[in-house]
């Protein structure tokens, strides 16, 4: 587990920094598209983006 702060990047967007070990674990790359889903109860689900 890692604690992070939200960073405001524009009027309509925020960012969060994902620690490098998580990036390596899931094999994500720079500029890779990801899907973020509200999983309820304050949880988010982040997955690889897949074309439909």
CA 23 to chain centre: 10
In 3D space, the residue among 28, 24, 31 whose CA is nearest the CA of residue 47 turns out to be 28
pTM above 0.75, yes or no: no
pLDDT at residue 11, as a whole number = 96
48 and 35 in contact (C-beta within 8 Å)?
A: yes
Strand partners, 14: 8
pLDDT tens digits along 4-50: 999 999 999 999 999 999 999 999 999 999 999 999 999 999 999 98
């Amino acid at each position: 587990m890692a604690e992070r702060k939200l960073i405001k990047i524009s009027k309509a967007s925020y960012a969060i920094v994902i620690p490098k070990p998580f990036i390596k674990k899931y094999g994500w790359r720079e500029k890779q598209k990801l899907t973020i889903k509200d999983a309820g109860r304050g949880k988010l689900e982040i997955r690889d983006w897949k074309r439909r």
